[in-house]
Chain A
Amino acid sequence: MPVFPVPDFLPALPEIFLGTAAMALLLLGVHQGDRAAREIAWLAIGALAIALALVLAPLVSHGPARQVSLFGMFVTDGFGAYAKVLVLLGSGLSIVMSMAYNEQHGIARFEFPVLVLLGTTGMMMMVSANDLIALYLALELQSLSLYVVASFARDSERSTEAGLKYFVLGALASGMLLYGASLVYGFTGTTNFDVLAQLLANQGTASVGLVVGIVFIAVGLAFKCSAVPFHMWTPDVYEGAPTPVTAFFSVAPKTAAIVLFTRVMVEPFGGLTLEWRQIIWFIAVASMVLGAFAAINQHNIKRLMAYSSIGHVGYALIGLAAGSPAGVRGILVYMAIYLFMNVGTFAVILCMRRDGRMVEEIEDLRGLSRTRPALALALAIFMFSMAGIPPLAGFFAKLYVFLAAIDAGLYTLAVIGVVASVVGAYYYLRIVKLMYFDEPVGVGFDRPIAREMQAVLLISAVVILFFFAYPGLVVDGADSVAASLFAG
């Protein structure tokens, strides 16, 4: 009788735990009903915290050593751990922000945190994928959860439309990715990242079929992280989805997708950097420029944030275009800072309520510094940070990607990037202008802000404002794990 080898499940413990927790909470939810939505949300946050501890525990005990398990499907390394921490933080903060909103809008259902947990499990597996098949499975687990979450306000026309749109376009992207993966398999005979890396490192040049396969995979991944020209779903979905869901979309899945993008390009296809660099170069430039110009005319703040996030993806991809350890470090630092800027901004957006209803026009922010000074100050900090003005954290995010770009000799890319950031600064400043230069109209926003929202706002504002005082925590970590990606 053949002995079926039992793989070492230990490296995947955080993912296994999170998946199990999601199912347990689902059972609990079915039993308790929507009355227990808030408790389940807190339990989900607890599960995310435990998963975070499980991600960090091996790092503390025996360093960020690279370990491949589950028949070569699954890899754990410092790079993945860094990204998982970001994903878990993003998901956790999104659930925190969703609680009050969901209750106010009558959509406080227990499925919400469960779906977020399942999506997060998918994201963590994406980050750890070491095989095209594992990549696809993880991506689909994530995407399917996100489609449902996007249309979570099921009585809202906008929300269901957003979910449907996201689903149709997302399925198309998944199809392209799968097609690309099949081409890669067809021309190399393997789907495993390590084998691919060895093969391509020795081969030097690539066949046309393989390059086409890589392009299709890049298209699928560019779609998932909403980079131009595969961004068209982003504004509609961001606008239509319930605001906490938009906040969630803009941080956790985006981080996971960019990190996955980085791993796929750098690890298996690292030998072909010169072949794919021009694709990434173009995507980065197009995202930065479109993100900067298209946001200028937006009136809806969620749409504006959608274009802003497209622009930020462009900046993060500069790091990938550099294709060096410095570039990967830049990506990680960028995503870490982006997480806090975005969570903070959405926390403010969630506070934009008048007479119990959400308002989403940026005009509604008029005179906010008079009616709600603290809220206006927080949003001003986030806006200046997004524009990349020192001493706020957003400046350092941009500094590290530009450092990588110039190090790699990508001068044109860097110049386009900084010029686009000046254009982008305009629309961020416009929000500051509305809040500080203009007089308030009508009644102020509703009070009070839920306690947990105050905490989210305070934490993100402090992180962004005082990042400059101790940047080492984020940067040194990213620096050490970025090198690990190139060691293999």
Chain B
Amino acid sequence: MSSWPLLSLVTFLPMVGVVAILVLRGDDADVARNARWFALWTSLFDLALAIAVWANFDPARGDFQLLEEAPWLPGFNINYRMGVDGISVFFVLLSSFLTPICILASWNAVKLRVREYMIAFLALETLMVGTFCALDLFLFYVFFEGVLIPMFLIIGVWGGPRRVYSAFKFFLYTLLGSVLMLLALITIYLETGSSDVREALAYDFPGSLQTWLWLAFFASFAVKMPMWPVHTWLPDAHVEAPTAGSVILAGVLLKMGGYGFIRFSLPMFPLGSQAFTPLVFALSIVAIIYTSLVALAQDDMKKLIAYSSVAHMGFVTMGIFTVTSEGLQGAMIQMLSHGVVSAALFLVVGVVYDRLHTRDIARYGGLVNIMPKYAAVFMVFMLASVGLPGTSGFVGEFLSLIGAFQVNTWVAFLAATGMILGAAYMLYLYRRVIFGVITHEDVRAMLDLTPREVAIFAPMIAIVLWIGVYPDSFLKPMQPTLANLIERVQAAERAHDAKFAAAKPARVE
């Protein structure tokens, strides 16, 4: 084990890049070129650090590791606390994996205000990684909500024609959910006397308080996730955001909701979670089936993928709240898989958008004839999204469904129909864009993938297949943590039942 504050390094290294880019001088072209390279190298170094975190992480242990603590507001027992466990370490990896990809993907697509763009992405990386590493309630909130600022600017400055509306909708929707969570965090802090996440995780909150706290957290995470019916900000934000913005949005920001459910809602408020499980199942099923149907009807590629994200996140919430080993592992894998696959699909859309500047599905068709490499790459991610065995999507959805079967057959049955719908809309999209004859002359002039684009997609394909073929390297490190979590939830439920059983005879007599 190294004695370096590894998590702080991986969190704040991008800020070094921000400072370096801020002090760049020269004419606009020079600044833009240097800013791109600085940002790329910073994010690659950060990825290396994240891999070092993974290497230093002991997969056999289920507690928090690589701990760091420094006084922040010592009189209040609010400290700078960092640490990762088997859940968060993968999100750290995911965030730092997607950031260099975003920077590469924007290499030529972003021409205006390159310096600010790169600063926004690096700041975003710090905030995302920090969110997953924070072990202090208020520190978590600072990172979690701080994400809104760079994302608001990314959508608003570099977005499409309706970017202003989308940026505001994104910001205000998520802010409304988050502020309620802030009040819940304050309540937890006052109840436990500490803002240490570990203490809150070990604390048994009274039953009625759990209900309220669970709802407050739900308000935040359900919007972030997003769950039906508070998902409406997502299609707007995705359609208007620049390609890389969509990648981060789908790849990481949505996962913050799922992470929040696993990290906070479930273990801290097991009774609240138990009480609301039917609600979550119902919303998940609606999300899976309804948004899949909506996705079938889309003409805009990005919007279609955005709706498919809502459907996939339905599997995640369903898996989490089954509170079974399979369900939780499935939800985790589904989040990681979706983080890569949906990010890649947005990049796939970005590739043709860069060439033809439209996302209208009807404007394409017959791309296989002129862009064979592109068609192959698209196919891999399309199939991964559908959940073809051998790809990451299969592992996630399959495990979630097994978990659901153990708890409620109907939920599993309905979710499984969602998988069929998922195959329908993705294959339909693929057929319309890739196959058929070329009807538009300008399509004929489109070039196949450039080496830069191949370099972007190659590692993503590798990861999709890695998770699909050998998921054990991802499942192993998370199993002890998830086992602890399930044990904690079940213990709380048992204790509650025992109390109830003890109280019952007294009432009868």
Contact = CB atoms under 8 A, between A and B. Distances in A.
Interface string A450-483: 0000000000000000001001100110010000
Contacts of A402: 182-183, 186
A406 B186 contact: yes
Contact of B146 (A390, A414, A476): A390
Nearest to A423: B172
A372 to B, nearest CB: 14
Given A390-B142, A391-B142, A414 B183 contact: yes
Interface string A390-425: 110001000100110011000100110011011001
Contacts of B171: 425, 429
B190 A406 contact: yes
Interface in A341-391: 369, 384, 389-391
Given A384-B149, A390-B146, A422 B164 contact: no
B190 A403 contact: yes
B75 interface: yes
Contacts of A419: 176, 179
A426 interface: yes
B417 to A, nearest CB: 37
A362 B387 CA distance: 51
Given A402-B183, A425-B175, A471-B72, A436 B148 contact: no
Nearest to B189: A403
B245 to A, nearest CB: 14
B183 A406 contact: yes
Contacts of B146: 389-391
A105 interface: no
B156 A436 contact: yes
B168 interface: yes
Contact of A390 (B73, B74, B141, B168): B141
What is the predominant secondary structure among interface residues of chain B facing chain A?
A: helix
Interface string B162-175: 01100110011001
Contacts of A429: 152, 168, 171-172
A391 B163 CA distance: 24
A224 B142 CA distance: 34
A479 B179 contact: no
A389 B186 contact: no
Nearest to A381: B149
A411 B187 CA distance: 10
A395 B158 CA distance: 27
Interface in B26-77: 72-76
A437 interface: yes
B164 A433 contact: yes
A211 to B, nearest CB: 31
Nearest to A402: B186
A64 to B, nearest CB: 16
B142 A395 contact: yes
Given A406-B183, A429-B152, A433-B156, A389 B145 contact: yes
B364 interface: no
Interface string B135-165: 0001001110110110011001100000110
Nearest to A418: B179
A418 B141 CA distance: 14
A109 B182 CA distance: 49
Contacts, number: 84
Chain B contact-residue range equals 20 to 34
B283 interface: no
A415 B219 CA distance: 13
B131 to A, nearest CB: 11
Given A407-B190, A437-B156, A471-B72, A426 B182 contact: no
A422 B75 contact: no
Contacts of A414: 183, 186
B75 A415 contact: no
Contacts of B492: none
A402 B181 CA distance: 12
A475 B73 CA distance: 8
Contacts of B183: 402, 406, 411, 414-415, 418
Contacts of B361: none
Contacts of A472: 72-75
Contacts of A437: 156-157, 163-164, 167
A468 B183 CA distance: 19
B110 interface: no
A436 B142 contact: no
Contacts of B176: 419, 422
B180 interface: yes
B61 to A, nearest CB: 31
A415 B187 CA distance: 12
Given A407-B190, A422-B175, A389 B149 contact: yes
A150 B73 CA distance: 41
A389 B72 CA distance: 19
A268 B492 CA distance: 48
Given A429-B171, A436-B153, A468-B142, 15 more contacts: A389-B146, A390-B141, A399-B186, A402-B182, A403-B186, A407-B190, A422-B172, A422-B175, A422-B176, A425-B171, A426-B172, A432-B153, A433-B164, A437-B167, A471-B72
The 6 closest A-B pairs by CB, nearest first: A418-B179, A390-B142, A437-B156, A422-B176, A391-B142, A406-B186
Interface of A: 369, 384, 389-391, 395, 399, 402-403, 406-407, 411, 414-415, 418-419, 421-422, 425-426, 429, 432-433, 436-437, 468, 471-472, 475-476, 479
Interface of B: 72-76, 116, 138, 141-143, 145-146, 148-149, 152-153, 156-157, 163-164, 167-168, 171-172, 175-176, 179-180, 182-183, 186-187, 189-190
30 contacts: A384-B149, A389-B145, A389-B146, A389-B149, A389-B175, A390-B142, A399-B186, A402-B182, A402-B186, A403-B189, A406-B190, A411-B183, A414-B183, A415-B180, A419-B179, A421-B179, A422-B175, A422-B176, A426-B168, A432-B152, A433-B167, A433-B168, A436-B153, A437-B157, A437-B163, A437-B164, A472-B72, A472-B74, A472-B75, A475-B76
